[in-house]
């Protein structure tokens, strides 16, 4: 039992894996914050989608008018979905990449650029910044995940 | 080769990791069931989105009228997306948390509360229950993942 | 330090884990490609959703007309979301499955069928092929993940 505990601790003691864990926790946390931003805009813009969510505004037509879409809410939701589309591959491939034995400095470079790019992407989407700000930050994160995928396939390929 | 097999078996023999694997399998299975519920409502409400999905109802206008949105279908789809937004962080951070060497009892507490909250959330969304039922169950799951993130970052931080 | 590196390398040297890593990298890469297909259709169909994305087409009404939905763009987006809904459970449960010590041949069978089914599903969605082509390929991938979930729960169950 204690040997097992030790073993599971050893993976987490590997420096590349610790870096992976750190940046994965950060980007997943950032993605989770999108839910709070959505909730904030839904409440301040009074724009809801479920009838039961507007019940506190009264009954009938007085509540129904809050069942509507709002541009700010939709914008945050698009940013959230874009996070899912891009952070899921990062987390999945990043784990395999971290286990493929890269240099710590190379791994940190990948993780830091991806995390920075996604944080910038969120600000670019929500402010919003003029293009190509958002597009470029998306492309940078995409390229990082692509680079890790290449290394994983080169290292482990077993079809 | 047999040594490698033994090694990969050892991680799965760690009790915290086994608990993580159990609850991750359950919540991912629950999420997958949303696809079946969506299909059920699409078929019983005859509400489809792809023209090729309505071809069996005939040609032309007789089939076209089934290309429509239905409130029940949309409700399930929102529940499914909410699962993706919340279960993905749980699975990703939960893995790191399980590897960070928490007490089994503490880990089980996190996994059980999250799983219970998400199952409740699904029922609250689909029935639907009056608010704040759904909101609170969402917040409970969110708080559990947040608590695991805190422990992961405290244990492994390597920026 | 070198011992840690050796350890993390050992998991990746396990053949079942290498197979998992290979097919996970392939299906996540396939999912990522959906972003490029979406961008391709948005640009060729001139159908955008963010005002800042149409700024290069001029100002005012001349740019506003490109803020519209396009059937081809929406089709790719549905395929992308379907990937998220199905590939996320595969990646999460596949990892646990790979660590549960299955036979290499059995594991390869699961990974290959899932990957083939999802690639077929994408073509069936985008071409589009008449039903039940897309539906069946979805069901095959679903069944593979379900089979892996069953094995994981049977092997590790700790509630």
The 10s digit of each residue's pLDDT in B2-31 is 444 444 447 778 999 999 999 999 999 999
Longest CA span, chain A? 64
Q: Is A22's CB within 8 Å of B153's CB?
A: yes
Q: Hey, of B3, B72, B148, B152, which one would you mutate to test binding to chain A, going by the most A CBs within 10 A of its CB?
A: B152
With an 8 Å Cβ cutoff, is A21 touching chain C? Answer: no
pTM for this one? 0.93
Residue C8: its pLDDT value, please?
Answer: 45
pLDDT band at C5; cut points 50, 70, 90:
very low
User: Residue written as tokens 């082509």?
Assistant: C133
The 10s digit of each residue's pLDDT in B91-112 is 999 999 999 999 999 999 999 9
Considering chain A, what percentage of its residues have pLDDT values greater than 70?
94
CA distance to partner chain C, nearest, from residue B28 (Å):
6
Residue C6: its pLDDT value, please?
Answer: 45
Residue B12: its pLDDT value, please?
Answer: 77
Q: How far apart are CA B51 and CA A107, in angstroms?
A: 46
Residue C2 has pLDDT above 60, yes or no: no
- Which of A9-13, C1-5, C15-19, C53-57 is predicted most confidently? C15-19
CA distance to partner chain B, nearest, from residue A20 (Å):
9
CA distance to partner chain C, nearest, from residue A90 (Å):
9
CA distance to partner chain B, nearest, from residue C54 (Å):
27
Contacts of A1 in chain B (CB under 8 A): 15
With an 8 Å Cβ cutoff, is C21 touching chain B? Answer: no
Residue A6: its pLDDT value, please?
Answer: 45
Tokens found for residue A20 = 């992976």
CA distance to partner chain A, nearest, from residue C72 (Å):
18
The residue length of chain C stands at 159
Residue C4: its pLDDT value, please?
Answer: 45
Q: Is B28's CB within 8 Å of C149's CB?
A: yes
User: Residue written as tokens 């996994």?
Assistant: B111
pLDDT band at C38; cut points 50, 70, 90:
very high
With an 8 Å Cβ cutoff, is C78 touching chain B? Answer: yes
Cα→Cα distances C48→A125, C16, C23, C57, C105, Å: 14, 43, 33, 11, 46
Cα nearest neighbour of C22 on chain A: A157
Judged by DSSP in three states, B60 sits in coil
Q: Is A99's CB within 8 Å of C21's CB?
A: yes
Least confident range from A19-23, A58-62, B77-81, B132-136: namely: A58-62
With an 8 Å Cβ cutoff, is A142 touching chain C? Answer: yes
Please give the DSSP secondary-structure letter assigned to residue A70: -
Q: Is A152's CB within 8 Å of C15's CB?
A: no
Of C12, C29, C91, the CB nearest to A99: C12
pLDDT band at A1; cut points 50, 70, 90:
very low
Residue A71: its pLDDT value, please?
Answer: 96
Residue that wins the pLDDT comparison between C129 and C1: C129
Are the C-beta atoms of residues B129 and B123 closer than 8 Å to each other?
yes
Residue ranges and CATH numbers for the domains of chain B are 15-154 (1.20.120.550)
The 10s digit of each residue's pLDDT in A6-32 is 444 477 789 999 999 999 999 999 999
Torsions phi, psi for B70 (to 5 deg): -130, 135
pLDDT band at C21; cut points 50, 70, 90:
very high
Residue C107: its pLDDT value, please?
Answer: 98
The 10s digit of each residue's pLDDT in A52-89 is 999 888 777 778 899 999 999 999 999 999 999 999 99
With an 8 Å Cβ cutoff, is C157 touching chain B? Answer: yes
Q: How far apart are CA C33 and CA C39, in angstroms?
A: 10
Judge if ipTM > 0.95.
no
pLDDT band at B62; cut points 50, 70, 90:
confident
- The pLDDT mean for chain A works out to 92
Residue A75: its pLDDT value, please?
Answer: 97
- The pLDDT mean for chain B works out to 92
Chains that touch A (3 or more CB pairs under 8 A): B, C
Are the C-beta atoms of residues C85 and A84 closer than 8 Å to each other?
no
Contacts of B29 in chain C (CB under 8 A): 89, 146, 149
Cα→Cα distances B113→B17, B27, B136, Å: 17, 12, 12
Residue C7 has pLDDT above 70, yes or no: no
Residue B152 has pLDDT above 90, yes or no: yes
Overall average pLDDT of the C125-145 stretch: 97
Of A11, A152, A158, the CB nearest to C7: A11
Are the C-beta atoms of residues C28 and A89 closer than 8 Å to each other?
yes
Q: Is C19's CB within 8 Å of A145's CB?
A: no
Helix B2-13 vs helix B15-44: angle between axes, to the nearest 10 degrees? 80
CB atoms within 10 A of CB A155: 18
Of A8, A53, A80, the CB nearest to B99: A8
Residue B4: its pLDDT value, please?
Answer: 45
Residue C141 has pLDDT above 80, yes or no: yes
C5-20 b/e (C-beta count within 10 Å ≥ 16 → b): eebbebbbbbbbbbbb
Q: Is the Cα dihedral A122, A123, A125, A126 positive or negative?
A: positive
With an 8 Å Cβ cutoff, is A157 touching chain B? Answer: no
């Amino acid at each position: 039992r204690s040997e097992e505990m030790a073993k599971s601790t050893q993976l987490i003691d590997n420096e590349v894996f610790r870096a992976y864990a750190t940046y994965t926790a950060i980007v997943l946390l950032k993605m989770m914050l999108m839910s709070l931003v959505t909730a904030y805009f839904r409440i301040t813009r009074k724009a809801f989608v479920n009838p039961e969510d507007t019940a506190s505004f009264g009954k009938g037509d007085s509540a129904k008018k809050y069942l509507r879409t709002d541009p700010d809410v939709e914008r945050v939701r698009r940013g959230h979905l874009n996070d899912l589309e891009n952070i899921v591959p990062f987390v999945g491939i990043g784990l395999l990449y971290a286990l493929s034995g890269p240099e710590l400095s190379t791994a940190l470079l990948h993780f830091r650029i991806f995390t920075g790019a996604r944080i910038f992407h969120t600000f670019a989407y929500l402010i919003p910044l003029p293009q190509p700000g958002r597009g470029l930050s998306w492309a940078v994160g995409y390229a990082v995940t692509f680079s890790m995928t290449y290394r994983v396939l080169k290292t482990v390929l077993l079809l």
